[in-house]
Structures are given as structure tokens and as C-alpha cells.
């Protein structure tokens, strides 16, 4: 059969987006891995599925699969692309969209300039909610990585993140330490590894080695997690510009008991068909 898809990206974090409201197809992990191959398939960081909701209070269900075929709970850059996709396809006529995800319900708002603001919900900081192996919640934890002891923060934005502060993201050991942190036994469901450089109280640089993908051009949940970690350590203000290799996001977090708000662009690259 021919499968219709849309190729999109959020700051270079690229996606294959499939309308499963009007199409019905089975995509097992091996087929997702084949589609993700950048030489023999479509090529993407994540596959995004737009489905009818199972919760009657939501407009859509949003499912995310990494390039390795594993399903994950949340993807912030993907959420912005999701909002643009359902509006462009006229699956919904409103600028405010309620979406059900495996990591919790989120709300997407399409701004007048075309950017998308995502209410990412409350960050999860208790170890059992992340999940992270620790007796109690701390602002930072010590972790052994490659015979070094590092101080890092553990945050969930619907998916688990380890945030490590570095002097310079350009020289940070992302390629070497990223896979080690991702698979660290203290994160029983693995994690996304964020390497954060503090530029000022209102700006950071960030590189993220994503679980099941590798380093990406941008990571929306990683940007949110980094700002939460920096705020809790007293390093950042509420409004923060997050510079990623693919571009910048605006993150706002008022503090505990408040949701994290992320604003940034979403871009359609092309429409295509592939034979399954």
C-alpha cells in the first residue's frame, strides 16, 4: 500500500508525520527503523502519529516513535509540528488544540506569527516519577560516568532527562558521554542527556543526546528540562532563551506548581508517499 506522509522539522529536529485519522496502517518497530533510515528510507529523528483521541476531552492522540522503533512519552519539537500539521490539514479549525500523549495531556497554541506555544505541563521532580533511582528528591545528584563523578539534575517533562552543566557546549563530551548517560542504570527507562552552558540568567546554550536517537539539532523537552534544572539551582530567571544547534526556543517557567511554556517554530518540508 501507499502511505501518505509529511516531512517536518522543528529547528532541525526532523519528523515523519502520518495522519492516522484518515489512514489505517500497522507500523511495527522493524518497519519504523526502515523508514527512519536516511539512505534507504524517508529519514527522521522521530515518527509522529496523529490519531483520534481515546479521551473524549482531547482533540487528538499524539504518539511518538524514535528512529530505533521505540515508543516514547513526549517530544516538544514534535508537538509544535503536530499543531501545524493538524491545522494545515484542516483536521481542526481552532488555534488552541488539546492533545493526549503517553506522557500526559498537553495544550498547543498557534500564535499569530505562526510560532507554536506548547503548555508542557508540570515538570516531574520526584525520583519515582522521572524515573530515577534515588532515596529522595535532591536539586542535584552525583553520577559516575566513565570513571568520573559528575553533578547533574534529573527532571521529567513527560520523558526522563539528565541535565549536566558544562563550561562550553562546543567542547562538551556529548559524543562520548551521551550514550553512557542515556543507558545509565540509575535511569531504569534510560534518559535524554542534556549538556547546558549558562550564558546569562536569561540565556543558555544546549546540546542534547536523545534517548533512542543520538544527538539531535534540537530537543524541546530537553530545553524545558534544562531551564527547570537551572531555575531550581538558582542559575536562571523565569524567561530563558535556549540556543540549540538548530536554532533557539523561548522557555518560560514561573517555578514549582506552574507549567513549563515553550514557544518556537514548526516547518513543513514536503509531502510524500512511500510504499510499505
Q: Quick count: other Cβ atoms within 10 Å of Cβ 70?
A: 15
Task: Tell me the pLDDT of the chain averaged across its residues.
Answer: 96
SS3 at position 128:
helix
SS3 at position 124:
strand
- Which has the closest alpha carbon to 47: 35, 61, 38? 35
Neighbouring-strand partners of residue 162? 154, 193
Residue 99 pLDDT exceeds 90: yes
Residue 221 pLDDT exceeds 90: yes
Which cell is 32 given? 519504523
Burial track 133-163 (b if 16+ CB lie within 10 A, e otherwise) = eeeeeeebbebebeeeebebbbbbbbbbbbb
Asked if residue 116 lies in contact with residue 106, where contact means CB atoms within 8 angstroms, the answer is: no
User: What number is the average pLDDT over the span 254-266?
Assistant: 97
User: What number is the average pLDDT over the span 38-46?
Assistant: 96
Q: Where in the chain are all domains bearing CATH 3.10.310.10?
A: 2-116+265-275, 127-258
Which cell is 225 given? 528540562
User: What number is the average pLDDT over the span 243-261?
Assistant: 97
Residue 217 pLDDT exceeds 90: yes
User: What number is the average pLDDT over the span 137-155?
Assistant: 97
**Distances 135 to 141, 240, 256 between C-alpha atoms, Å:** 11, 31, 21
HEC profile of 153-203: EEEECCCEEEEEECCCCCCCCHHHHHHHHHCCCCCCCCCEEEEEEEEECCE
pLDDT band of residue 41 (cuts 50, 70, 90) is very high
Residue 245 pLDDT exceeds 90: yes
Task: Give CA–CA dist 166/193, Å, rounded.
Answer: 12
State pLDDT tens for residues 53-90.
Answer: 999 999 999 999 999 999 999 999 999 999 999 999 99
Best CATH choice for the domain 2-116+265-275 from the list 3.30.1330.90, 3.40.50.1100, 3.60.20.10, 3.10.310.10: 3.10.310.10
pLDDT band of residue 239 (cuts 50, 70, 90) is very high
pLDDT given for residue 220 in this prediction: 96
pLDDT given for residue 68 in this prediction: 95
User: What number is the average pLDDT over the span 249-261?
Assistant: 97
Task: Give CA–CA dist 76/266, Å, rounded.
Answer: 11
From first CA to last CA, the distance across the chain in angstroms is 6
pLDDT given for residue 60 in this prediction: 98
User: What number is the average pLDDT over the span 213-231?
Assistant: 97
Catalytic residue status for 162: no
pLDDT band of residue 40 (cuts 50, 70, 90) is very high
Task: Give CA–CA dist 85/91, Å, rounded.
Answer: 8
pLDDT given for residue 276 in this prediction: 85
Task: Give CA–CA dist 87/111, Å, rounded.
Answer: 12
pLDDT given for residue 96 in this prediction: 96
> Which of the residues 81, 162, 191, 219 is marked catalytic?
219
**Alpha-carbon dihedral sign for residues 2, 7, 13, 19:** negative
User: What number is the average pLDDT over the span 231-258?
Assistant: 97
State pLDDT tens for residues 180-200.
Answer: 999 999 999 999 999 999 999
What is the phi/psi pair of residue 80, to 5°? -65, -40
Task: Give CA–CA dist 138/157, Å, rounded.
Answer: 17
> Which of the residues 75, 81, 162, 191 is marked catalytic?
75
User: What number is the average pLDDT over the span 2-31?
Assistant: 96
Which CATH superfamily includes the segment(s) 127-258? Diaminopimelate Epimerase; Chain A, domain 1 (3.10.310.10)
Residue 1 pLDDT exceeds 90: no
State pLDDT tens for residues 166-185.
Answer: 999 999 999 999 999 999 99
Catalytic residue status for 75: yes
Helices (H), the chain: 29-36, 76-88, 174-182, 220-232
User: What number is the average pLDDT over the span 214-243?
Assistant: 97
Amino acid at each position: 500500500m501507499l502511505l501518505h506522509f509529511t516531512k517536518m522539522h522543528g529547528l532541525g529536529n526532523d519528523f515523519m508525520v502520518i495522519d492516522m485519522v484518515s489512514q489505517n496502517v500497522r507500523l511495527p518497530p522493524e518497519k519504523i527503523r526502515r523508514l527512519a533510515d536516511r539512505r534507504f528510507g524517508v529519514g527522521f529523528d522521530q515518527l509522529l502519529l496523529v490519531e483520534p483521541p481515546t479521551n473524549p476531552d482531547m482533540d487528538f492522540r499524539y504518539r511518538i516513535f524514535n528512529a530505533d522503533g521505540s515508543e516514547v512519552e513526549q517530544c516538544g519539537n514534535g508537538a509544535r509540528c503536530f499543531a501545524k500539521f493538524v491545522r494545515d490539514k484542516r483536521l481542526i479549525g481552532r488555534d488552541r488544540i488539546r492533545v493526549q500523549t503517553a506522557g500526559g495531556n498537553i495544550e498547543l497554541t498557534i500564535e499569530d506569527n505562526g510560532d507554536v506555544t506548547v503548555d508542557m505541563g508540570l515538570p516531574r521532580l520526584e525520583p519515582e516519577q522521572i524515573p530515577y533511582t534515588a532515596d529522595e528528591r535532591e536539586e542535584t545528584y552525583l553520577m559516575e560516568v566513565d570513571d568520573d563523578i559528575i553533578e547533574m539534575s534529573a527532571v521529567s517533562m513527560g520523558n526522563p532527562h539528565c541535565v549536566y552543566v558544562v563550561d562550553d557546549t562546543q567542547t562538551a563530551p556529548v559524543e562520548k558521554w551521551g550514550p553512557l548517560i542515556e543507558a545509565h542504570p540509575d535511569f531504569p527507562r534510560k534518559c535524554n542527556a542534556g549538556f547546558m552552558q549558562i550564558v546569562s540568567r536569561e540565556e543558555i546554550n544546549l546540546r542534547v543526546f536523545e534517548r533512542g536517537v543520538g544527538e539531535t539539532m534540537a530537543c524541546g523537552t530537553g530545553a524545558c528540562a534544562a531551564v527547570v534544572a537551572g531555575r531550581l539551582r538558582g542559575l536562571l530567571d523565569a524567561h530563558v532563551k535556549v540556543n540549540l544547534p538548530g536554532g533557539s526556543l523561548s522557555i518560560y517557567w514561573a517555578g514549582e506548581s506552574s507549567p513549563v511554556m515553550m514557544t518556537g517554530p514548526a516547518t513543513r518540508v514536503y509531502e510524500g508517499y512511500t510504499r510499505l
